[in-house]
Structures are given as C-alpha cells and as structure tokens.
Amino acid sequence: TKGAMASGVWRKVEIATVFPASRTGHSAITIGDKMVLFGGHGQLIPNEGISEGEGQTSKYGNTNDICMVDMDSFKAEWFQPAVHLHVRTRVGHKAVNVEDDMYVFGGWADKNERYLNFGFLFDMKSRQLMSENVRDRVVPQGRKDHTLTKVGTKVYLFGGWDCVQSFNDLWALDYRIRWKWT
C-alpha cells in the first residue's frame, strides 16, 4: 500500500471477510497496522436492526459498531461492543488515536437526543469502552462534523454544526489531566 500511495494511484482493495455494504458519517483512524472504523449510518449488524413495527426491521440506521481491518492482510473483524450508556449510535462524530486507543467525541444520535457533547475511549487491548463523565464539567456544546486533532498530550476540537449554528470555537482536552476540556 505504501508503494501505491507514493505513486499517487488509487486501487480498490478487497477485504477478506464480510464487510457492510455501505457507510457514511463514520470515523476511521489508524492504530498500529489496523484501521479502526466506528459508527456512522449504514448497514446494521444482524440482531441490531431497528424495529419498524409488525416484525419489520430496517437494514440501515445509525450504528455504534466497530470494525478493525488489518492493513497487511486486509482481514476485517466486525463486532458490536457491549452496550454502554454513553456509547450511543452516532453519525458525524470524530475519532482520534490517543496513545494507541480510540477516542470518539460528538456526533448526532437520533431525533430525541440530537447532538452529543460527550465521548468515550475504546481500549484496543481489552476491547472495553470507557465513557467520558460529563457531570459537573465544562464540555463543548453537542455537535457533529467538527475536527479532532491530537498534538502532544492534548486533543483539539474545532468547529462543527448542530443544525442551528456552525461553530468556530476551539477546545482543548488534556487527557493526562483527568480528561479535562478547556
């Protein structure tokens, strides 16, 4: 893959295992030799379908599933993490690699919850989700389509949108000091 990038030539890569047919509004980051995808709007894992009444199930919706693709073998592992209070289905969120784990913030959950102003950390080794405690804390307003960038020991959030306004604010999250937003 490095050779293809150096030459500026795109090529379609076949994934060695079952892969959802489509996805939008998801995040994808690299951690070591893996590409880690999270959430978005797309094909749901079986048993995750959204009930539409009378036994009908939608095959598409907002998701909170994770896919890890080995970038050497192109084998993918798709799984649904244990349901957790702050790991809502979301689209338009952003993710960043924080010391070889995935931090996810924001996004849009559904018509009832609207735009999310909290995140979680996915521990790659244990495959456990750790939610961000937003009680009694200053946090950015809920949003989607923002950016997250890690510099040193801080994650910076810029911009985004919440269906009413576009943001031009810049927030810093120091993950070594109790995950504190400033």
Question: How do residues 64-109 score in pLDDT, each as one tens digit?
Answer: 888 899 999 988 888 777 655 556 788 999 999 999 999 999 999 8
Q: How confident is the model at residue 54 (pLDDT cuts 50, 70, 90)?
A: low
Residue whose C-alpha is closest to residue 105's, from 71, 134, 127: 134
pLDDT tops 50 at residue 50: no
Residue 3 in tokens: 């050779």
- 63 Cβ neighbours under 8 A, 6+ residues apart: 23, 26, 39, 40, 41, 42, 44, 45, 48, 89
Percent of the chain exceeding pLDDT 70 equals: 81
Beta pairing, strands 147-151 & 128-131: unpaired
Give pLDDT, residue 155.
96
Q: What are phi and psi of 13, to 5 degrees?
A: -105, 130
pTM attached to this predicted model: 0.84
Chain segment 118-137, per-residue pLDDT in tens: 888 999 998 888 877 777 78
Give pLDDT, residue 103.
95
Residue 65 in tokens: 């599933």
